[in-house]
């Protein structure tokens, strides 16, 4: 009798341990930026057996982000790692190289290379901000859905359903952007921002985009950059320049101040979301929401 109850107890213990274990072992998809995390969440919506984690929270600048010890642990445990590549996560390159035996998805490799913008001022590298053209982003979404289906074959049908619905939403977003931005007159089609995150956006919607800082926030800007930008603002009678949620406001304030001394009043426009989504309570906490907030 005693042996029997001991066995039962042991068995109960083993089952309990197995349960805790399986909870801990829920496979994770670990994305670097919140924008990539959102893509994975959309495609895996309803798939309760998989958890999606984004390493960088709202307002975090990926160009400057350094992985924490906790991030390294999350990455090493991940079933699938999603990163942007094209040097967006500039300080994590070495870390990605070390994770070679892991399953990784690199968004920059998923798009047609001919559609990438060559940023010659940045050592001949490609501009990494590929999410700002919804039609280009569709290529990433399609490739990511295939990768997720291969990684989680049981969720294949669900992922394909989510993909179909999301592609429709991205198409609608693109059409709405065209309608909204069509009203801007030719001379006013200039977007001035703190760093050059919007080149793909500019190409997609025929808007000249000028950033003070180039395509990475790691680059220092000099007095010449400020004066060039000021000249452009004065010549085009630009009325507003924009700050970004993941870049300090002081860089663009220097431009406004300099334009003012040249006798041209330019306003600080609203905050744009560039390399990170808004926080959970904001309307920019998803890719679609972020885009709508930026364009409005």
Q: Which residues contact 166 (CB under 8 A, 6 or more apart)?
A: 42, 43, 141
The nearer residue to Zn ion, 274 or 293, going by C-beta atoms, is 274
Residue closer to Zn ion, measured from CB, 147 or 275: 275
Q: Report residue 33 as tokens.
A: 């930026």
Nearer to Zn ion, 197 or 241 (CB): 197
Options 32-40, 110-118, 195-203, 249-257: segment touching Zn ion (CB under 5 A): 195-203
Contacts with Zn ion by CB under 5 A: the residue count is: 2
- For 154, phi and psi rounded to 5 degrees? -65, -25
Taking the C-alpha atoms of residue 164 and residue 97, their distance in angstroms, rounded to an integer, is 33
> Closer to Zn ion at the Cβ: 61 or 71?
61
Instruction: Name the minimum Å distance from CB 155 to Zn ion.
Output: 31
Nearer to Zn ion, 152 or 198 (CB): 198
Near Zn ion by CB under 5 A, which window of 22-30, 47-55, 166-174, 271-279?
271-279
- Closest contact distance (angstroms) between CB of 64 and Zn ion is 10
User: In terms of CB distance, is 271 or 275 closer to Zn ion?
Assistant: 275
Q: Is 275 in the site for Zn ion (CB under 5 A)?
A: yes
State the CB neighbour count (10 A cutoff) for residue 248.
Answer: 12
Is position 244 an interface residue for Zn ion (rule: CB under 5 A)?
A: no
Enumerate residues 7-66 that contact Zn ion by CB under 5 A. Answer: none
Piece of 25-33, 77-85, 94-102, 275-283 that binds Zn ion (CB under 5 A): 275-283
Looking at 31-39, 108-116, 140-148, 191-199, which segment touches Zn ion (CB under 5 A)?
Answer: 191-199
Cα separation of 114 and 131, whole Å? 16
Nearer to Zn ion, 54 or 162 (CB): 54
- Among 29-37, 97-105, 190-198, 254-262, which window interacts with Zn ion (CB under 5 A)? 190-198
Q: Kindly state the smallest distance separating residue 245's Cβ from Zn ion, in Å.
A: 11
User: Shortest CA distance to 172 belongs to which of 34, 288, 278, 283?
Assistant: 288
Give me the least distance between CB of 211 and Zn ion, in Å please: 9
With 0-12 CB in 10 A as exposed, 13-18 as middle and 19+ as buried, what is 59? middle
Stretch that binds Zn ion, among 39-47, 94-102, 226-234, 270-278 (CB under 5 A): 270-278
Q: What angle separates helix 34-43 from helix 156-181, to the nearest 10 degrees?
A: 130
Assess 197 for contact with Zn ion (CB under 5 A): yes
Report the residue number, 163 or 197, with the smaller CB distance to Zn ion: 197
193 bridge partner residues:
211, 242
Interface contacts to Zn ion, rule CB under 5 A: 197, 275
């Amino acid at each position: 009798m005693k042996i029997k109850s001991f066995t039962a107890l042991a068995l109960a213990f083993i089952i309990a341990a197995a349960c805790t274990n399986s909870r801990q072992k829920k496979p994770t998809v670990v994305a670097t930026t919140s924008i990539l995390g959102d893509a994975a969440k959309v495609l895996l919506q309803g798939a309760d057996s998989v958890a999606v984690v984004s390493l960088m929270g709202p307002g975090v600048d990926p160009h400057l982000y350094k992985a924490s010890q906790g991030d390294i642990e999350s990455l090493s445990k991940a079933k699938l790692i999603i990163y942007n590549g094209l040097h967006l996560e500039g300080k994590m390159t070495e870390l990605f190289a070390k994770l070679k035996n892991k399953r990784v998805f690199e968004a920059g490799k998923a798009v047609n290379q001919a559609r990438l913008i060559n940023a010659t001022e940045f050592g001949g590298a490609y501009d990494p901000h590929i999410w700002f053209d919804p039609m280009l982003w569709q290529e990433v979404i399609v490739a990511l859905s295939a990768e997720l289906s291969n990684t989680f074959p049981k969720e294949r049908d669900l992922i394909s359903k989510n993909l179909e619905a999301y592609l429709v939403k991205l198409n609608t977003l693109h059409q709405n952007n065209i309608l909204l931005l069509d009203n801007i007159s030719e001379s006013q089609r200039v977007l001035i921002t703190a760093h050059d995150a919007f080149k793909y956006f500019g190409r997609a919607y025929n808007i000249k985009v000028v950033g003070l800082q180039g395509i990475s926030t790691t680059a220092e800007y000099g007095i010449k950059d400020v004066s060039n930008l000021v000249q452009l603002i004065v010549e085009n009678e630009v009325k507003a320049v924009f700050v970004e949620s993941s870049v300090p406001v002081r860089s663009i304030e220097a431009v406004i101040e300099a334009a003012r001394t040249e006798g041209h009043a330019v306003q600080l426009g609203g905050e744009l979301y560039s390399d990170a989504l808004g926080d959970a309570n904001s309307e920019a906490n998803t890719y679609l929401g972020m885009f709508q907030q930026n364009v409005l």
